[in-house]
Amino acid sequence: MKFIFDCHLDLSMNATEWNRDLTLTIDEIRDLEKDLSDKPDRGNSTVCIPELIKGNIGLCVATLISRYVKPKNPLPGWNSSEQAWAHAQGQLAWYQAMESKGEIVQISNKNSLKSHLEKWNKKSSRKRLGYILSLEGADSIINLDYLYSLYDNGLRAIGPAHYGPGTYAFGTGSNGGIGEKGKELLKEIEKLNLILDLTHLCDKSFWETLENFSGNLWASHSNTRSIVPNERQFSDDQIIELINRGAVIGMAFDAWMMIPNWKRGVSDPRQRGLIIENIVDHIDHICQLIGNSNHVGLGSDLDGGFGKEQCPLDLDTIADLQKLDGILKKRGYNNEDINKIFNKNFIGFLERAL
């Protein structure tokens, strides 16, 4: 099996909001939820630590995600940035508890990255999941002092916005620029050498962000707009600009981002024929557009608020990402290209950026 780097997993959200003990097996988690109906993906989860290890997914970007929503904003979220901050701290505490338990290990610099990869390659070593801490949406940052607090706790990547209008930028489903607060945040991100995640920015905020930032950037989980025409995906112009800036783009396995005209809560993977191979269309579009496979990776977003009901029908758990190996070979990708997509592109990025 190939080693996999997954650039986007909402692990602490699942633990603290979905009340999932991710140290359990996937069957145990599903069984505990079989009588629950508060969320559409109950009993359909795909991610847990045992399945990550089973799938040779030894390294990931793991998020803190806690949205502050202003009055009249219909999106779910906290009513103050202080509440959002407190919730994010609870998620951080879960990662720290998992580290203390020996389940995961935080990667925060080149040395810890090198050490983790060396241990993972030793057959005698116990396999532990390595994670780079990321903040998805910056609304919980009350002021910039709080950004430094997160950095001290290992934060190494940050996306300024999530869904809707945010404090520092406008995200998916909204329209607006980054404003002075956004520009101030970008300056501090650059000072701290944090990785800037362009995922979820609306078009106007996307281009304004690039005008005001010259540091390291990537897109942890976004697909292509030419295949799925909505603003959540990247246009060809955006993809080319990201590649010119040295970015890597992670492919997401959320159904509505993989194929067009998916209706959340209505469409069904079997009825629509959604399979893992659909993601290769997005991979191939980027590779053909830029002429190489050097800027594509995986950012699965599995169990990012959805489960088996909204992902490929031939994916039972996250360990099935390994199926991409054979699928890519059938589509003409050689072993070196596949290794780049599975891990080398993002690991090489981290070796330069950390």
pLDDT band at 75; cut points 50, 70, 90: confident
pLDDT at 207 over 80: yes
Q: Phi-psi bin for 296: left (phi > 0), alpha (psi -120 to 50), beta? A: beta
Note the pLDDT of residue 122: 87
DSSP state at residue 102: T
Mean pLDDT, range 21-27, rounded to an integer? 98
Q: How far apart are alpha carbons 255 and 262 in whole angstroms?
A: 7
CB 260 within 8 A of CB 232: no
Note the pLDDT of residue 74: 81
Mean pLDDT, range 216-244, rounded to an integer? 98
Q: Which two tokens stand for residue 256?
A: 């509505």
pLDDT at 70 over 90: no
pLDDT at 124 over 80: no
Note the pLDDT of residue 123: 77
Q: Which two tokens stand for residue 162?
A: 């999530």
Q: How far apart are alpha carbons 246 and 32 in whole angstroms?
A: 43
Residue with tokens 């779910």: 76
Note the pLDDT of residue 72: 75
**pLDDT tens digits for 148-185?**
999 999 999 999 999 999 999 999 999 999 999 999 99
Mean pLDDT, range 39-65, rounded to an integer? 97
Q: How far apart are alpha carbons 354 and 352 in whole angstroms?
A: 6
More confident residue, 269 or 76: 269
Residue 211 maps to which CATH number?
A: 3.20.20.140
More confident residue, 107 or 73: 107
Note the pLDDT of residue 125: 72
pLDDT band at 126; cut points 50, 70, 90: confident
pLDDT at 99 over 80: yes
**pLDDT tens digits for 235-283?**
999 999 999 999 999 999 999 999 999 998 899 999 999 999 999 999 9
Residues sharing a CB contact under 8 Å with residue 111, sequence separation 6 or more, in sequence order: none
CB 63 within 8 A of CB 134: yes
Q: How far apart are alpha carbons 191 and 152 in whole angstroms?
A: 14
Indicate the pTM of the whole model.
Answer: 0.97
**Where in the sequence is the domain holding 169, given as residue range(s)?**
4-353
Note the pLDDT of residue 350: 98
Alpha carbon distances (Å) from 353 to 3, 23, 117, 247: 20, 30, 17, 11
Q: How far apart are alpha carbons 180 and 187 in whole angstroms?
A: 11
DSSP string, 138-158: STT-SSHHHHHHHHHTTEEEE
pLDDT band at 202; cut points 50, 70, 90: very high
Instruction: Give the helix ranges, DSSP H, for 33-165.
Output: 49-54, 81-100, 110-121, 144-152
pLDDT band at 114; cut points 50, 70, 90: very high
Q: Give the mean pLDDT of the chain.
A: 96
Note the pLDDT of residue 55: 98
Q: Which two tokens stand for residue 282?
A: 């997005």
Number of domains in the chain: 1
Note the pLDDT of residue 210: 98
